[in-house]
Structure 1
């Protein structure tokens, strides 16, 4: 998987993707949620996250209080100790990782806390979400990071332009 090639394509197509996603927002097809789920499934039949893990290497998820409690409990740490060791507060006042790539990313691109990973990680790249047009800005950002998000938008465009 050539991440540079995906990123380059995504940047070149941002305007086109943004325009397409805006049309979904203005005039969503009746069966949009169904189409989104079907397209998501098709994309992930072909793309294996373990071959990439670019999200874990380049972007840090937001950690909710529930995430912190669940993960620190799993690691048998106090929440405050977990936060001090791994997290920082960013400019938006969100708890995020101190460093990238993610500390919990293993050499083989698996996650050492997969079963208790943050909600943001479980939902990424948000290509199976209902009312997808509510996160257009996020989807555009994700196409540059995640080959699956890029392929998702491309496939949605193909499916709707048939």
Structure 2
């Protein structure tokens, strides 16, 4: 089991440091950054087992695209409206999100019961393998508060880039 509170507290303590570091990436755009980001992401996920945590599925809901809704509703053999009524709400930003958390598709074993058809946001989380990662600094910082892998990713990236 992963100590979520431990990593959350670390992320809070290093919040400003992480913000400054990520801001330097935006300004300086180090040579081969995309390659370094991809390697760092892979290194972190070679040792982090998301099923020992699943905090993203417990506390952060994904944003649902129309394609996500159509794909999942079709798999459930539900009309789109029925799927949305059963599982989704519109948040203050106008995004479709789960009515409640944890994710209704999270099993007691921390495995996703709809893994092959999960929402795009779930497939891409914590977004640490993106090209031009400096374009999502705000999201990376937010994700370090919920995802130990995102926190470890930023820490390792700092080391690699000599920050």
Q: How does 1:67-146 map to 2 (within 5 A)?
A: 67-146=68-147
- Cross-structure match for 1:160: 161
- Cross-structure match for 2:26: 25
Q: 2: CA distance between counterparts of 1:80 and 1:43?
A: 39
Q: Does 1:3 align with 2:4?
A: yes
What is the CA deviation profile of residues 70-129 of structure 1, one whole-angstrom value per residue up to 9, with x for unaligned ones? 000011111110000000000001100000000000000100110000000000000000
Q: CA RMSD in A?
A: 0.7
Aligned-pair distance for 1:30? 1.7
- Cross-structure match for 1:149: 150
Report SS of the residue matched to 2:105.
coil
TM-score when normalising by structure 1: 0.99
What is the CA deviation profile of residues 24-82 of structure 1, one whole-angstrom value per residue up to 9, with x for unaligned ones? 00011120000000000000011000000000000110001000000000111111100
TM-score when normalising by structure 2: 0.98
Q: 2: CA distance between counterparts of 1:98 and 1:154?
A: 33
- Cross-structure match for 1:52: 53
- Cross-structure match for 2:62: 61
Report SS of the residue matched to 2:145.
helix
Q: 2: CA distance between counterparts of 1:144 and 1:16?
A: 14
Give the 4+ runs in structure 1 shifted more than 6 A: none
Q: Please, which runs of 5 or more residues in structure 2 have no aligned partner?
A: none
Q: 1: CA distance between counterparts of 2:121 and 2:138?
A: 16
Q: 2: CA distance between counterparts of 1:112 and 1:89?
A: 23
Q: Please, which runs of 5 or more residues in structure 1 have no aligned partner?
A: none
Q: 2: CA distance between counterparts of 1:2 and 1:61?
A: 22
